[in-house]
Amino acid sequence: MTALAHPRVLIPESKIRQRILELANEISYDYRGKEITAICVLKGSYIFFADLIRGLARPLNCEFMGVSSYGTKTVSSGEVKITLDMTEPANGKHIIIVEDIVDTGLTMQYLLNHLKARKPASIKVCTLLLKPESMKCDVQLDYVGFRIANEFVVGYGLDYAGSYRQIPYIGVLDNET
Ligand code: IMP
């Protein structure tokens, strides 16, 4: 049996928990009087999504979308395919896209344009992580958990080749990427 390697800790669990509470409070304040439709972008954001929505003190609908980019394992190509779609129409809804990480921004740009065409009442983006140095396009990110350097991270839902999603912190694989 192969043991799971332990990535170097970049953001510990306690910091993630604290920042998510802050984000949830900020979102709850901004959406007072409104019902939120939160979209979990699979697969990477499901753990972040589960923690974030439990802090939202507003009426809430949850949707799930699957997105796969046609890049190699660590480089985004910007070509995106929707592999799973919302079950309810987006029209007239106050949508928050909940993403694990924005790297080049190309996936989010595609998703935003795709959903805006469905005429939601409003649409915002909440990402746990952002790599500002990697951004290749101009995408408005309304809520950002942490800005990180341009290195490949895993854990807290994020994977490398399908592994490491269950690591409870955000870590860096120093020798394996
Ligand atoms: P984009 O470059 O912003 O389009 O990001 C595309 C996708 O690549 C993200 O949604 C993640 O799923 C994945 N990704 C980018 N950087 C990382 C990373 O450091 N760790 C794990 N996945 C990543």
Distance between CA atoms of 123 and 72, rounded to whole angstroms? 29
Give the percent of the chain with pLDDT over 90: 85
Distance between CA atoms of 97 and 21, rounded to whole angstroms? 17
CATH topology of domain 13-152: Rossmann fold (3.40.50)
From the list 30, 103, 138, 174, the catalytic residue is 103
- The tens digit of pLDDT for each residue in 31-48 reads 999 999 999 999 999 999
- The tens digit of pLDDT for each residue in 55-108 reads 999 999 999 999 987 655 555 666 788 999 999 999 999 999 999 999 999 999
DSSP helix, strand, coil percent of the chain (3-state; round to 5) = 25, 35, 45
- Is the Cβ atom of 105 under 6 angstroms away from ligand 1? yes
Reported pTM:
0.94
Cα 40 to chain centroid distance, Å, stands at: 7
- The tens digit of pLDDT for each residue in 122-177 reads 999 999 999 999 999 999 999 999 999 999 999 999 999 999 999 999 999 887 54
Distance 33 CA to ligand 1 centre (A): 33
Longest dimension (CA), the chain: 53
For residue 3, the model assigns a pLDDT of 72
Q: Where are the domains of the chain?
A: 13-152
- Is the Cβ atom of 48 under 6 angstroms away from ligand 1? no
Distance 61 CA to ligand 1 centre (A): 25
Which residue, 146, 170, 140, is CA-closest to 158? 170
Q: Is 103 a catalytic residue?
A: yes
